[in-house]
């Protein structure tokens, strides 16, 4: 699975420009489902199984990025965030525009070294000497450049949010035999812009049960806010986030399955943010929905970190959940 994770995170596909990562995923799953289609918005919908509960499992394939808003007379590219890039992580970082142009993020001169520059004071230097020479135009999108690095049992890369959820879904498809449920694996687009892909795919599938796969913040670094989630302690079963309450029956089903299979798990209450699970939960007449999260440090930075054992245990749990008849 590590080679798969590297292939996924090495691909550049910010929100709205998911074609490259979609091609990678389609190549990986082409033999793993009875039916695979791409909808009008660009979501991949892969169905496995023909009977039982209709289950939607969603992991988003887009990543955060930048979009050019202005090119100044010297060829520096000013930008805004696509999907919540944190300005404290940006200066000195490298980016790659969708057209292949590379750049480094710089900042205007500051008088106080401990002040974080807002995004409108940052720019991308692409090596141009004038606006006419600049190979980037207003509206061009970029994603971060960062190598995939293994540190013992930890993995560091850009776009682990949510390529790691994509990897969990693909590996689960590999391990899942034709079971008692009709499972729709959805690799969604534009989650970072408001779960747009999951909204339309959930409407089309009309699931009876939903599961969102994503990452969630940890509380295991020095001076972090008080929260229980830690790397290496197992995947997290979501209880609440800032936009939804996860269905208690689904939470109990997930926790009971984990206990029976002796898979370590954590509980998560996410103070800020949400996932594709919310879009599933409120589709049509409503769907009982749960969330499975991979603990992750430094989310929405070029150097996100996860523990490989958490990923493996997430695959084991998701496979166990989908392999048996579901009664909530």
The pLDDT assigned to 66 comes to: 94
Q: Rounded mean pLDDT of 132-155?
A: 94
Map out the domains of the chain as residue ranges: 2-63+158-323, 65-144
Closest CA to 292 of 282, 300, 283, 280: 280
The percentage of residues in the chain with a pLDDT greater than 70, rounded to a whole number, is 99
Give the 3-state DSSP-derived string for the chain, with helices as H, strands as E and coil as C.
CHHHHHHHHCCCCECCCCHHHHHHHHHHHCCCCCEEEECCCCCEEEEECCCCCEEEEEEECCECEEEEEEECCCCCEEEEEECCCCHHHCCCCEEEECCCCEEEEEECCCCCCCCCCCHHHEEEECCCCCCCCCCCCCCCEEEEECCCEEECCEEEECCHHHHHHHHHHHHHHHHCCCCCCEEEEEEECCHHHCCHHHHHHHHHHCCCEEEEEEEEECCCCCCCCCCCCCCCCCCEEEEECCCCECCHHHHHHHHHHHHHHCCCCEEEECCCCCCHHHHHHCCCCCCCEEEEEEEEECCCCCCEEEEHHHHHHHHHHHHHHHHCCCCC
Q: Which pLDDT band, with edges at 50, 70 and 90, does 83 fall under? A: confident
Say whether pLDDT at 256 is over 90. Answer: yes
Query: Mind telling me the catalytic residues?
Result: 191
Closest CA to 49 of 31, 33, 66, 28: 33
The pLDDT assigned to 243 comes to: 86
Say whether pLDDT at 157 is over 90. Answer: yes
CATH numeric code, 2-63+158-323: 3.40.630.10
Say whether pLDDT at 188 is over 70. Answer: yes
Instruction: Judge whether 267 and 239 are in contact, CB under 8 Å.
Output: yes
The pLDDT assigned to 97 comes to: 95
Closest CA to 308 of 324, 320, 296: 296
50-65: pLDDT as tens digits: 888 999 999 999 999 9
271-306: pLDDT as tens digits: 877 899 999 999 999 999 999 999 999 999 989 999
Indicate if the alpha-carbon torsion angle 244, 266, 187, 306 is positive or negative. Answer: positive
198 vs 194 pLDDT, higher one:
198
Q: Which pLDDT band, with edges at 50, 70 and 90, does 246 fall under? A: very high
User: Any residues with CB less than 8 A from the CB of 166 and at least 6 apart, and which?
Assistant: 8, 21, 25, 59, 60, 61, 187, 213
Q: Which of 27-36, 70-79, 101-110 has the lowest mean pLDDT?
A: 101-110
Say whether pLDDT at 197 is over 90. Answer: yes
pTM passes above 0.85: yes
Q: Rounded mean pLDDT of 113-142?
A: 91
The pLDDT assigned to 111 comes to: 65
Q: Which pLDDT band, with edges at 50, 70 and 90, does 166 fall under? A: very high
Mean pLDDT, rounded, of the chain: 93
Q: Which of 105-114, 124-133, 182-191, 222-231 has the lowest mean pLDDT?
A: 105-114
The pLDDT assigned to 78 comes to: 96
8-31: pLDDT as tens digits: 999 999 999 999 999 999 999 999
203-244: pLDDT as tens digits: 999 999 999 999 999 988 887 777 779 999 999 999 998 889
CATH numeric code, 65-144: 2.40.30.40
Q: Which pLDDT band, with edges at 50, 70 and 90, does 85 fall under? A: confident
Q: Rounded mean pLDDT of 78-104?
A: 91
């Amino acid at each position: 699975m590590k080679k798969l994770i590297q292939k996924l995170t090495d691909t550049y596909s910010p929100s709205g420009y998911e074609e490259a990562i979609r091609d990678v995923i389609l190549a990986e799953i082409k033999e793993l489902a009875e039916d695979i289609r791409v909808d009008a918005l660009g979501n991949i919908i892969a169905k496995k199984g023909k009977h039982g509960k209709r289950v939607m499992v969603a992991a988003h394939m887009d990543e955060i990025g930048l979009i050019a808003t202005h090119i100044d007379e010297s060829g520096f590219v000013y930008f805004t965030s696509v999907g919540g890039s944190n300005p404290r992580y940006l200066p000195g970082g490298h980016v790659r525009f969708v057209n292949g142009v590379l750049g480094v993020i710089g900042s205007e001169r500051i008088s106080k070294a401990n002040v974080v520059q807002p995004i409108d004071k940052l720019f991308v230097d692409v090596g141009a000497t004038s606006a006419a020479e600049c190979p980037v135009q207003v509206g061009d999108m970029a994603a971060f450049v960062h190598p995939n690095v293994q540190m013992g049992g930890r993995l560091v890369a850009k776009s682990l949010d949510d390529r790691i959820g994509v990897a969990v879904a693909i590996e689960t498809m590999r391990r899942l035999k034709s079971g008692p449920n009709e499972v729709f694996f959805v690799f969604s687009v534009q989650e970072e812009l408001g779960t747009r892909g999951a909204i339309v795919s959930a409407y089309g599938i009309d699931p009876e049960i939903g599961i969102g796969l994503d990452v969630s913040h940890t509380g295991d670094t020095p001076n972090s806010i008080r929260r229980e989630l830690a790397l290496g302690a197992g995947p997290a079963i979501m209880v609440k986030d800032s936009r939804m309450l996860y269905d208690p029956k689904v939470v109990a089903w997930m926790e009971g399955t984990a206990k029976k299979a002796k898979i370590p798990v954590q509980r998560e209450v996410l103070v800020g943010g949400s996932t594709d699970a919310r879009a599933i939960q409120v589709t049509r007449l409503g769907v009982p929905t749960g969330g499975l999260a991979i603990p992750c440090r430094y989310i929405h930075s070029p150097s996100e970190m996860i523990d490989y054992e958490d990923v493996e245990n997430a695959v084991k749990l998701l496979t166990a959940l989908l392999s048996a008849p579901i009664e909530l």
